[in-house]
Chain A
Amino acid sequence: GENVEQHPSTLSVQEGDSAVIKCTYSDSASNYFPWYKQELGKRPQLIIDIRSNVGEKKDQRIAVTLNKTAKHFSLHITETQPEDSAVYFCAASPSASKIIFGSGTRLSIRP
């Protein structure tokens, strides 16, 4: 069935260092891969996404890469800041109306 696996479940990095979160998906029909950030007590919000016809996308300190052959995609945050502390979810969309989320990564930035 459709599944998205996300690793690691928790990640702690020194402020200023980079953080990488990785996901794999099972449904080869997936063509849209968003990343959501959920701050404590708040709703998830989209921070960046990538479509299957693109291998990499960057937005300031955040970048996503996609390897469609291997069914892997990753989130890279450079020069991490305290406000980057949150839970991050990857997701894969196998159809226009359906989206499957990963289990989340709790990112902590150490001062």
Chain B
Amino acid sequence: SQTIHQWPATLVQPVGSPLSLECTVEGTSNPNLYWYRQAAGRGLQLLFYSVGIGQISSEVPQNLSASRPQDRQFILSSKKLLLSDSGFYLCAWSSRLAVFIDNEQFFGPGTRLTVL
């Protein structure tokens, strides 16, 4: 079976500090990987997605970046956090294998980031 991990679960960081959130997927190969942000009471905003190692597509201009150093590892980073970066960050994966529903997203447990 497939499992998606995210850590840390919660994080409190001062403004201007760096950020690194990690997401790993088990039980599948060559997944599509996604980072979403969910501000309090708001919808899911797609930040980045990746269809393969080293391939990153950015959806919104911001001070965040993403990297995919390994097939099943997706990292969200920032050099200097802003107050507006606070939110709930969700990693997700989808498969291109025929046994899966087209582009069904499987979400990780999320990381709640508070920037003070």
Contacts and interface: CB of A to CB of B under 8 A. Distances in A.
Given A43-B90, A43-B108, A43-B110, A99 B43 contact: no
A45 B43 CA distance: 14
A85 interface: no
A17 B71 CA distance: 46
B107 A32 contact: no
Contacts of A89: 43-44
The range of chain A's interface size is 20 to 34
A56 B90 CA distance: 30
A69 B59 CA distance: 27
A56 to B, nearest CB: 17
B46 interface: yes
B53 interface: no
A70 interface: no
Interface in B6-49: 32, 34, 36, 41-46, 49
Interface of B: 32, 34, 36, 41-46, 49, 51, 57, 90, 94, 96, 101-105, 107-110
Given A6-B43, A43-B107, A104-B44, 6 more contacts: A34-B104, A43-B90, A97-B32, A99-B46, A102-B43, A103-B42
Interface of A: 6, 32, 34, 36, 43-46, 49, 51, 89, 91, 93, 96-104, 106
